[in-house]
Structure 1
Amino acid sequence: MISAAGWPDSPLDAVDTAFADLTCDPDPLSLDLDTLAGQLGDDSGLPGGVIALPALRQWLLGHPRACRVRDVVWRELIRRARLDGPAWVITAVALAPPALRRYAGRLHTGWAGDAHDLDAEILTGFLTALRDRVDLARPAPYTALTLVAA
């Protein structure tokens, strides 16, 4: 649903809208995977070079068992979200919807209140974890990030 101001009512939908704006021409936000090549290994299956972030999201969704790649990519996303500003925070949230929406769906079942309030709380938990709760030196940062948000 879109509000009167033309912005989605759902916090999670608003992130998707902001992400679409950040990743469109003329200057789409992207990630240079060559800078991560030494960490990814030769057999990751992830294409090299600069990748558009929507393509990276699709690749990650299509390769749920690529744990090493997921860990390397998420460490970089978390690092950039912490150091490089709001665009990368939005990117991190936009790449996490499968888990965030799954948690939201579970919580919405039987909830008589405003569903957007639950979405906002899930998003708040995720952002708090993204900012300072996930230890990048530990394995599985994406899993830690989404579990803390739940």
Structure 2
Amino acid sequence: MRKHLRPHAEFLAYCLMPNHFHFLVFFPQESDTEQFSQGMRIILGSYVTAINRCYGRTGSLFTQNTHSKPLEQSDQHYPQLCFYYIHHNPLRAKLVSQPEDGPYSSLPDYLGIRRGTFCNQTLARQLLDLPSDPHQLAQEARTQLDPEITDKLF
């Protein structure tokens, strides 16, 4: 991901789940989104090849194509809502008891639990108007999201 995706976009949040993943990315004006898409194809294709070799199988692993949704057309709070929605995925799937317990998400990095360097936290705090205080961010992250809203996100 650092080789094929990060040169073309700034990652603001991520969560890897057993059967899907979410990325919240920012594309600077000079970025080439087609290069990012090509990088995503390389990563997913490499993953499929490795799994197929490991288990002696052939064919695709994924039932759906990767989806993306531009956030610039939305209201100003939508990107922040996506940030929290992404980090709530392990909680909604009953894999953890608190959002910050998700080992495959960027939330522990934002809370200072882990020293992750993948996401551009400074940019995310600016663009998403996130609290700089980790305790306040943790409290906001623990707040239950309205299912009526989150069901419409994706």
User: Which is richer in helix?
Assistant: 1
Could you say whether these structures have the same fold, taking a TM-score greater than 0.5 normalized by the shorter chain as the test? no
What TM-score, normalized by structure 2, do the two folds share? 0.27
